Structure 1
Amino acid sequence: MPSLEQLRFDNTYARLPAGFSVRVLPSPFQDAHLVSVSPQALRLLGLETSEARRPEFVEAFGGLRPLPGMEPMATVYAGHQFGVYVPRLGDGRALLLGEAVTPSGERWEVNLKGSGHTPFSRMGDGRAVLRSTVREYLCSEAMYGLGIPTTRALCIIGGREQVFREEVETGAMLVRLAPSHVRFGTFEYFHYTEQHEHVATLADYVLARHFPHLEGAKDRYARFFAEVVERTAQLVAQWQAVGFAHGVLNTDNMSILGLTLDYGPFGFLDDFEPGFICNHSDDFGRYAFDKQPRIALWNLACLGEALLSLISEEEAQTALQAFSPSFASHFLARMREKLGLRESRPEDRELLETLFAKMADARADYTRFFRRLGRFDTSEGARNELLRDQFLDMEGIDAWAAAYRTRLLAEGSVDAERRLRMDRINPKYVLRNYLAQTAITRAQEGDFREVDRLLEVLSRPFDEQPEHEASAAPPPAWGKHLSVSCSS
């Protein structure tokens, strides 16, 4: 594998017209140090973990001594934030360092978050805090472990610099990777400033890099939009199936590639609560768990509007109309897998909706319920106590279990084989808020071992890992209603 010095960088985004970005040098921390590094993400760049232990690694990725080929820059975009259009946002605390080109020819944009003031910082300081950085770092890699498309987190770089939010906190930087960080809001910026030639330039750039199969097609822009709609439908279905809520689902936080992007406030369901709000700044529940598919469609409509210089209204509407049936199909297919069903039958939707109603009434733990469901015993007379102990309405859950057993037997399901399949789709470990908070508290005290331990656990969320059994527990009383906000 190459050494750090052999890592080759390019920056194709920097070759777009001047209005797309501004060259900005990072503001490195004094006394910068490595908090944690993801070995899996590091391997995307073709680097061994030993390279991250070198001081040159922190200097390069922390902005002190950029590697040859890096061209730090802040990109411009706009976005609808909580439904209100903000005409100019941009990278206010992040920089695109460039694209790491791997020996196999893959390109990974390297993005440094918390790197200091940029022309898009508005009234902000351009910094990030350790608290939010740990959360994004762990969740990015946890989502990858769950098989959900996401930006990746390479490492956390810490420093002693103090940052003021609601209180004084320790600053930190996150190095994240993605094939592209282009957002819905990037297209919106050029559309609403009536720079339609740049809408086309951006679309052509994205197609050449990420949708090469569409290049040259007469209807390439319409097909591009349709593919973004489909990718987004599939992404949100995966979120919903695993019980994940994105707390700031603004158009500037939605990836053109269908990746999970910009982990601000987020949350995995503990109790099954359809109206779960993970962001305490979301006063009206715009981004509540059960509203996320509707909001994703709303955001896609904003993107469609931004592409109207390239596609017709009819083409935009045709693509948008495909979202809801696509989402429903992906979600139901995912939930069949979570229920251990191999076949598609008309009664499956009712079976699932009845279960969700009973789980909501009982506030059953979402992750633990589905993991335990894999142990369901279809033997005549089996009581399945592991299933029943989360419900007060025993009669109701017993009736559902009887219907579920009938459904399983109808397709000849074998308990042992089904359990193996279900354990590969129903995680035992997710990044519950209390787990993240424990790691944050220790990190703020200078102990980063819990961050590394959680990173390892969440990289294998479907494995039993008996030595980490405590991390699969439901939240303690203090962890039930932790407050997570947009401040970072």
Structure 2
Amino acid sequence: MDLTINISFDNSYIQVADTLFSRQLPTAVSQPDLIRINDALANFLSIDPAQLNTPAGIEVLAGNRIAEGSEPIATVYAAHQFGQWNPQLGDGRAILLGEVIGANGLRYDVQLKGSGPTPYSRGGDGRSPLGPVLREYIVSEAMYALGVPTTRSLAAVSSGDTVIREQGLPGAILTRVARSHIRIGTFQFFAAREDWDSVTRLADHVIARHYPDVLSAENPYLALLSAVIQAQAELIARWQSLGFIHGVMNTDNMLVGGETVDYGPCAFMDEYHAGRVYSSIDHNGRYAYGNQPAIAHWNLSWLAQSLLPLIHSDEETAVALVRAELDAFADIYQQYYECMMCQKIGLPVVSEKGNELVSELLALMQAHKMDFTLMFAGLADYLDKSGPAPDSVANLFSLPAELQAWLQEWQYYLQQQSGVGLIAIQQQMRTVNPVYIPRNHLIEEVIQAANSGDLVPFHRLVDRLAHPFDYSIDDQIYALPPRPEQEVARTFCGT
């Protein structure tokens, strides 16, 4: 039997500086078994999914076998965690196998998550229970389908071992793919040690890998900061437009490449509330839905501080330069947010009246505890002259009488502004307002079934969420908010 797994690794991070990582092999598990392979993603990465779905391929996905060309490492970083400085962190339960080139010519990390202890585990076991692996697979792939920049899931395997948390749970390993896993906290780690050689090498690598256009700028490192600010502003605006709450926006959970990473205590809102918090460890609401833009700005200030000596040799001059870039974040974010939210109510162009309509709708939704996703998804149905059809999304919820005045004002404004007709507006709205999101109660039901050995609900949910904008009345169970007994009020970190 051929045990060769052909993955065309092309590793660059280990060539940047040996201070950035520790070489670390995964720890073998007792009885790996395949849960799911993301065939489309595998093909995009020029990895044969049929090879992965062999005993040798499953061994690679479990960390029991190292594929040819793989050079496993655990990366080091620091972080502000809930505002508190932690100078030494790193991949405590993740091992980067290497990098591959995607069909688009860009570089991607392939990482095992839950593959055993590393030098940065801080006493942890380096393992992951099955539940967090399934959660990350579900949510990351749903985010991709929603058009949000995100890390992705290539595969999931069960380990055959028990992971001890509050109780014994089945273990699993996720194969995660990212444009890179370089974090704001990666820069912080070396800047705090005044290791400016490593900071410079890291910045040069990020420029070459993520933002090559800034090389032609008068000040490439300042331009790098500006590019990261732009990417994060757009990313957070996308989160807000979908009602997504990350839950743990520490500086080690912000990738400089602008992708969403780490789906631990994350959640999509059911009832809209600007102060919504789900994470069990966010006791004071630091990372509440409404706080996410400001937290992103705060996190970016630490990246700016880490780059100061690279931007200008005179500290006062460097501070002035980065302050100007940071001060632009709020306006950049607001432009993205207003554009996305106006599109959600059928307005292709941002206007003062459009922004007012969005603000008024959100206030009404909060006052009447309206479901964020269904309200926006069902809005297009109210453009039908005879009202929502029996099989429409709008029939999945009741519209409070207090929203009728807003509805009439919105419809009138659309008719005044639009030159394309209501049918075209409906079609556009249905491309930006999803019906299906990875709701907490659905994920919890999937995890409970999987812990009992039934993975069918997991596969069904992943398949349904791959087409979030295409409503079918036959699948309305995946669109409905939770009943009171199904509601998940708290989400938990995978560790």
TM range (shorter): over 0.9
Residues paired across the two proteins, number: 483
* 1:329-340 paired onto structure 2 within 5 Å: 329-340=335-346
Instruction: Report percent identity of matched pairs.
Output: 37
Partner of 2:404: 398
Aligned partner letter, 1:428: V
Partner of 1:28: 28
- Asked if the contact 1:73–1:97 (Cα under 8 Å) also holds between the matched residues in 2, the reply is yes
Partner of 1:411: 417
- Asked if the contact 2:99–2:110 (Cα under 8 Å) also holds between the matched residues in 1, the reply is yes
- Write the distance in 1 (CA, Å) between the matches of 2:62 and 2:297: 37
- Asked if the contact 1:362–1:390 (Cα under 8 Å) also holds between the matched residues in 2, the reply is no
Change (3 A) 1:418 1:252: same
SS in 2 for 1:160: strand
* 1:27-106 paired onto structure 2 within 5 Å: 27-102=27-102, 105-106=105-106
2:458 is equivalent to residue 451 of structure 1: yes
Structure 1 residue ranges without an equivalent (≥5): none
Partner of 2:185: 185
Please state how far the C-alpha of 1:179 moved relative to its aligned partner: 1.6
SS in 2 for 1:328: helix
- Asked if the contact 1:343–1:411 (Cα under 8 Å) also holds between the matched residues in 2, the reply is no
2:493 is equivalent to residue 486 of structure 1: yes
- Asked if the contact 1:434–1:482 (Cα under 8 Å) also holds between the matched residues in 2, the reply is no
Partner of 1:237: 237
Deviations 1:312-367 (A, max 9, x none): 11121111111111111101100111101123322111111111110000110111
2:467 is equivalent to residue 472 of structure 1: no
Aligned partner letter, 1:197: D
- Write the distance in 2 (CA, Å) between the matches of 1:383 and 1:98: 51
Q: Which residue among 361, 367, 372 is the counterpart of 1:366?
A: 372
Partner of 2:139: 139
Deviations 1:345-397 (A, max 9, x none): 22111111111110000110111111110111364x969994896344x1x31
SS in 1 for 2:197: helix
Change (3 A) 1:383 1:474: closer
- Asked if the contact 1:8–1:102 (Cα under 8 Å) also holds between the matched residues in 2, the reply is no
- Write the distance in 1 (CA, Å) between the matches of 2:238 and 2:57: 34
Aligned partner letter, 2:12: T
- Write the distance in 2 (CA, Å) between the matches of 1:235 and 1:316: 20
Q: Which residue among 418, 425, 428 is the counterpart of 1:421?
A: 428
2:330 is equivalent to residue 324 of structure 1: yes
Partner of 2:166: 166
Please state how far the C-alpha of 1:52 moved relative to its aligned partner: 3.0
Change (3 A) 1:164 1:216: same
- Write the distance in 2 (CA, Å) between the matches of 1:83 and 1:102: 36
2:383 is equivalent to residue 377 of structure 1: yes
Partner of 1:207: 207
Please state how far the C-alpha of 1:414 moved relative to its aligned partner: 2.4
- Asked if the contact 2:383–2:426 (Cα under 8 Å) also holds between the matched residues in 1, the reply is no
- Write the distance in 2 (CA, Å) between the matches of 1:160 and 1:383: 50
What RMSD over aligned residues (CA atoms) do the two structures have, in Å? 2.0
- Write the distance in 2 (CA, Å) between the matches of 1:304 and 1:275: 28
- Write the distance in 2 (CA, Å) between the matches of 1:193 and 1:107: 29
SS in 2 for 1:76: strand
Partner of 1:284: 284
- Write the distance in 1 (CA, Å) between the matches of 2:166 and 2:103: 44
Change (3 A) 1:465 1:405: closer
- Asked if the contact 2:27–2:115 (Cα under 8 Å) also holds between the matched residues in 1, the reply is yes
Change (3 A) 1:482 1:35: farther
Aligned partner letter, 2:369: R
Deviations 1:110-131 (A, max 9, x none): 0111111111000211111111
SS in 2 for 1:347: helix
Aligned partner letter, 1:473: L
- Write the distance in 2 (CA, Å) between the matches of 1:375 and 1:105: 41
SS in 1 for 2:88: coil
Please state how far the C-alpha of 1:51 moved relative to its aligned partner: 2.9
- Write the distance in 2 (CA, Å) between the matches of 1:300 and 1:442: 40
Please state how far the C-alpha of 1:171 moved relative to its aligned partner: 1.3
- Write the distance in 2 (CA, Å) between the matches of 1:298 and 1:4: 47
Change (3 A) 1:358 1:161: same
- Stretch of structure 1 that moved more, 43-52 or 157-166: 43-52
Aligned partner letter, 1:427: P
- Asked if the contact 1:430–1:461 (Cα under 8 Å) also holds between the matched residues in 2, the reply is yes
Deviations 1:376-428 (A, max 9, x none): 1364x969994896344x1x311111210111111236232221111111001
Normalised TM-score (structure 1)? 0.95
- Asked if the contact 2:396–2:480 (Cα under 8 Å) also holds between the matched residues in 1, the reply is no
- Asked if the contact 1:4–1:47 (Cα under 8 Å) also holds between the matched residues in 2, the reply is no
Aligned partner letter, 2:327: Q
2:111 is equivalent to residue 111 of structure 1: yes
- Write the distance in 2 (CA, Å) between the matches of 1:34 and 1:146: 26
- Write the distance in 1 (CA, Å) between the matches of 2:363 and 2:104: 49
